[in-house]
Amino acid sequence: MTEYTFVMNPAAAKGAAQRTLVEVERLLPGLGATYEVIRTQCTGHATQIARASESRNVVAVGGDGTVNEVANGIMGSRKTLGVIPTGSGNDFVKSVGIPRRLQSCIDILRALNVRRIDAGMVRVGNFDNGSTIYASQRYFVNGVGIGFDASVAQRVSEISYLRGTLLYLVAVLQILGKFKVPEFRISADGYSTTGKRLLIAAGNGKSAGGGFYLTPEATVDDGRLDVCMIQDVSVLTILGLIPKVLSGKRLEHKAVSYLRTASLQVESNDLFKVHADGEVVGRDVNGVQLGVEPGAILMIGPRGGPPNDK
C-alpha cells in the first residue's frame, strides 16, 4: 500500500499547472515514502480518485476546486488531506498555512503534522409547491458565495486568457452593472433578516476569489462560518470597496454586515447562483442551506499552523 496518493489536476490555473506538475513530480522522491501519481481527466474525477485510494494520505495538487473534490472524496474516512497549490486562486491555503513554494510543500507533507479542520456543508434547491426541494449535500473547505460573487465565479470559469487575482478582478468588472441584485430571506443562529444583498459570502477560510478577504477573521477549526453580507450598492461604491477587500482587513462600511454562525439558510423569490470553493454548484436556484461539521477533516499542515499566505 502506498503512503501518498497525489491527485494532480493538469487543467488547474487554466492549464498553466502542467509545467508545475512536472516540477512537483521531480521533487516527490524527496518524500522518502511510497507514493502514486494520478492525473484527473474530468470534473469530479478527483473525488473518485480520493474515494478509491488506499493511501493514508491523499494530496490535492491543483486549485481550490481540486482541494474541494479531494475533500469530498475522503469525507467519512480516516484518510488525511494534503495540498500543493497550483491553481488560479489558491485561497484555501491562505487559511491553513500552506506556502506556494513547492519544496516547502513537500517538506510539510514529509513532516506529517496532522490537524483537524472543519468541513462546511452546502445544499442548493428550488421552490416546489410552497417548499424548497434541496439537492444532495456537498462539502466545502474554504467558502460559499451566494449572488454576485457566484456570478463572478461563473465568469471566471469562462475566461481562458488570465490567471490569478487579475482574472478575478476582470471578472468582477465584467459582471458589475449587469448583475440584478436579489432580495433574500436570511436566517441563522438567532438571526433573521430580509432585504436586497449584492452578495452573501460564508467563509470557513478567510479569502476567496484569488485574494478577496471578505471574511478575514474566519478560522478553519472553530465550528463556525463567518458570513459577510453586502447590501445593494452602486457600482462606484463597489469599485471603492475592492481595494479594501484586497487589503486583508475587515471591511468596514455601512452597507456591510457580519455574523458568525454554525448554520445559514438563504431563500429568495429571485433566481441566483451559488459557488462552493470557487466552483459553481447552483446556477438558477432560490434556496441554500449551509452548515458545519466540526473537525471532520484530517489535514497535513505546517507545525504551528496558520497564518501564512506567502
Q: Which CATH number is 119-295 given?
A: 2.60.200.40
State residue 241's pLDDT score. Answer: 92
Percent over 90 (pLDDT), the chain? 80
Instruction: Check pLDDT > 50 for residue 308.
Output: no
Sign of the CA dihedral 276, 281, 286, 291? negative
Could you give the angle at the alpha carbon of 250 between the alpha carbons of 183 and 99, nearest 5°? 110
State residue 159's pLDDT score. Answer: 87
State residue 191's pLDDT score. Answer: 92
Find where cell 441566483 sits. Answer: 272
- pLDDT single digits (tens) 30-86: 999 999 999 999 999 999 999 999 999 999 999 999 999 999 999 999 999 999 999
Could you give the angle at the alpha carbon of 53 between the alpha carbons of 50 and 54, nearest 5°? 145
- Give CA–CA dist 295/111, Å, rounded: 21
- Give CA–CA dist 39/51, Å, rounded: 15
Domains 4-112 and 119-295 share a fold: no
Helices within 222-265 (DSSP H only): 235-246
Is residue 96 within 8 A of residue 304, CB to CB? The reply is no
- pLDDT single digits (tens) 110-155: 999 999 999 999 999 998 777 888 887 899 999 999 999 999 999 9
Instruction: Return the CATH number of 4-112, one of 3.40.50.300, 3.40.50.10330, 2.30.110.10, 3.20.20.70.
Output: 3.40.50.10330
Domain parsing of the chain, residue ranges: 4-112, 119-295
**pTM (predicted TM-score):** 0.93
Cell of residue 29, nine digits: 522522491
